[in-house]
Amino acid sequence: MTQAEPGLPRQAFNSADSDPAQAFAGWQAAIAPVFDIAPVYPDRPFAASYVSYHLGDILIGLGTFDATMFSRSHDKAQRDGLDYALIQVYTAGGYDGHLDDRPVTVRSGELVTLDMTRQTRTVSLPSSNITVLVPRDLVKARQLPHGVMTRGPRGAVLGGMLADHLVGLSRRLPTMPLSTGAAAAVATLALYEAALDPIEEMLEAAAEPQRDLLFQRVRRLIDARITTGKIDIASLAADLGVSRSTLYRLFEPQKGVEAYITERRLAHVRRALSDESDTRRIGTIAAAFGFDDHSNFSRIFKRRYGQTPAELRALGRHARPEDNDESFDLRPWIVDVT
């Protein structure tokens, strides 16, 4: 008898499985890797459910939730370093709010793409949605839009095609074989690229503030030098064509350039420790990313992530994408697709 092929790796959260008093806290923990959230009606019972599927290069989540305030501040975006496009279609409900400083209203059936390096503040109705997280490196477009994709003549067609695809895909995810996931991801990315074909109605949403563009240039340069030992601030500014004072001002929200470089070093170490194929000793990994003092590194790491490097490595090894309905934690999956 032929053994059935395994399905897609999945994680599930349902507030009905927890103490009602802890329902929102569970939802908050599930969404924390991407958004800060708060209940719209804190004095009322709260219900939410979310199932996330791992398709290799992308993550797809299916959510249903009561009214929620979602925010992703400039500080959070720079601190967590999630360089993703978030594609989302609401199948019920919707939200009002601001993307950067632009007001936005989204209702059922409309498709939105968000640049996760930019600011988002929204207040949702009781809603259901489909969310796709795509690493920026997989997107050919130089700039990611930050707005609604289903408005205007071409947006209604191209964005509408992607929205229809996501609705159809969501119905198939629960029974999709593991071997089909990669092909489904490729098809989804192809439709997204088609919808990103430059169109007049998206130009305003695609324009990024110069400060954010400079920050992304600095981040890429820092990441390229993260294994070269000490990063000289003067040479970093010179290579960017800006003064050191400009660089210092840019990083004031991150408590300085050096603090940000340390944060990026920690992020790279964290990713390596979560990589099942990376068998190097913890001290070797830390040294590779600029931490020569192991005891000091361990203190800094625990202060940042609330766990020792050894504890996180053990968690990462047990939290690789696999069927897991007992605890919901997107963080190892997000590390896995970056």
Radius of gyration of the chain (CA): 21
Look at residues 207, 209, 228, 60 and name the one whose alpha carbon lies nearest to residue 146: 207
**Whether 50 and 116 share a structural domain:** yes
Judge whether 233 lies within some domain.
yes
Judge whether 190 lies within some domain.
yes
**Residue range of the domain that includes 95:** 10-208
Answer for the pair 254, 77: CB distance below 8 angstroms, yes or no. Answer: no
Q: What pLDDT is attached to residue 242?
A: 79
**pLDDT tens digits along 210-235:** 565 677 678 778 888 888 778 888 88
Q: What pLDDT is attached to residue 314?
A: 78
Answer for the pair 69, 38: CB distance below 8 angstroms, yes or no. Answer: yes
Instruction: Give the domain-ending residue among 153, 178, 208.
Output: 208
Instruction: Give the domain-ending residue among 159, 189, 208.
Output: 208
Judge whether 328 lies within some domain.
no
**Whether 190 and 288 share a structural domain:** no
pTM of the shown model: 0.66
**Whether 26 and 98 share a structural domain:** yes
Q: What pLDDT is attached to residue 207?
A: 43
**Whether 251 and 304 share a structural domain:** yes
C-beta neighbour count of 294 within 10 angstroms? 13
Judge whether 204 lies within some domain.
yes
**Whether 27 and 171 share a structural domain:** yes
**Whether 137 and 24 share a structural domain:** yes
What is the phi/psi pair of residue 91, to 5°? -95, -10
Assigned token pair, 228: 């070269």
102 bridge partner residues: 99
Q: What pLDDT is attached to residue 203?
A: 43
**Whether 169 and 40 share a structural domain:** yes
Q: What pLDDT is attached to residue 20?
A: 82
**Whether 305 and 161 share a structural domain:** no
* Intervals of the chain under pLDDT 50: 1, 199-209, 318-326
Amino acid at 108: S
**Whether 19 and 156 share a structural domain:** yes
CATH number of the domain that 40 lies in? 2.60.120.10
* E-state strands within the chain: 10-14, 36-39, 48-54, 59-65, 68-72, 84-92, 94-99, 102-107, 111-115, 120-124, 127-135, 147-148
- The chain-wide mean pLDDT, for the chain, equals 83
Judge whether 4 lies within some domain.
no
Q: What pLDDT is attached to residue 274?
A: 78
Q: What pLDDT is attached to residue 277?
A: 80
Q: What pLDDT is attached to residue 72?
A: 94
Q: Which residue has the tokens 């071409």?
A: 154
Q: What's the structural domain count of the chain?
A: 2
**Whether 156 and 231 share a structural domain:** no
**Whether 199 and 225 share a structural domain:** no
**Whether 220 and 182 share a structural domain:** no
